[in-house]
Chain A
Amino acid sequence: GDSVTQMEGPVTLSEEAFLTINCTYTATGYPSLFWYVQYPGEGLQLLLKATKADDKGSNKGFEATYRKETTSFHLEKGSVQVSDSAVYFCALSSGTYKYIFGTGTRLKVLA
């Protein structure tokens, strides 16, 4: 079945450092891919999405490119802030009601 694999956390960075959180997937067909973010005490919020190969999703300085050849959707940000500290989830959906989530990667940004 479909699955999503994310890098283990926590990831600890200094403010203004470059961020990469790896995400790879296995799926039949051509899924849509998502990154969600969860701040403490809150539900998940959509950060960005991509619906087909080579699409780049972007929002709030975060970017991820749908790479079909490597089945990846890595999240990047050029300069993180303390306010980016949260848990990040990679997810996919293949057009059904099932959204498959990774285990989440906790990011801690130090001032």
Chain B
Amino acid sequence: ETGVTQTPRHLVMGMTNKKSLKCEQHLGHNAMYWYKQSAKKPLELMFVYNFKEQTENNSVPSRFSPECPNSSHLFLHLHTLQPEDSALYLCASSQAPGLAGVFEQYFGPGTRLTVT
């Protein structure tokens, strides 16, 4: 596998279910991100991890719980979601920004989530 992979690609869940999204990057990057993509809205940054430490949490509801066990893997645990949480969830990775500048992000294909 190369690049950024995400599983599952599609997920349908009820509001009382618990599920997890998985992301893996094979690029040797230090930073990993979760975004939410909804129709006709800008990408919403949810969480950022740098070297396994969470550096950003953009006021995301607690029903979304991230986990980053190492620099290559990122999870998003979901529980008691609402129908408005239905969206495409994208994972991305990059070199950590710093003195060397800002680096582009590499995205996975996303998980299409439908909450019924």
Contacts and interface: CB of A to CB of B under 8 A. Distances in A.
Interface of A: 4, 31-32, 34, 36, 41-46, 49, 51, 89, 93-104
B42 A42 contact: no
Interface residues of B, number: 26
A93 B110 CA distance: 22
Contacts of B109: 41-43
26 contacts: A4-B42, A36-B107, A41-B109, A42-B109, A43-B90, A43-B92, A43-B107, A43-B110, A44-B90, A44-B92, A51-B101, A51-B102, A93-B97, A94-B102, A95-B97, A95-B102, A97-B48, A97-B55, A97-B56, A99-B33, A99-B45, A99-B105, A100-B42, A101-B43, A103-B42, A104-B42
Contacts of A98: 45, 56
Contacts of A102: 42
Given A43-B108, A103-B42, 5 more contacts: A51-B102, A94-B102, A95-B101, A95-B102, A102-B42
A99 B97 CA distance: 11
B64 interface: no
A93 B102 contact: yes
Nearest to A32: B102
Among A31, A93, A97, A104, residue most surrounded by chain B Cβ atoms (within 10 Å): A97
A63 B2 CA distance: 27
B1 interface: no
Contacts of A49: 104
B105 A46 contact: yes
A12 to B, nearest CB: 18
B90 A34 contact: no
A97 B104 contact: no
Nearest to A44: B107
A96 B4 contact: no
Contacts of A89: 43
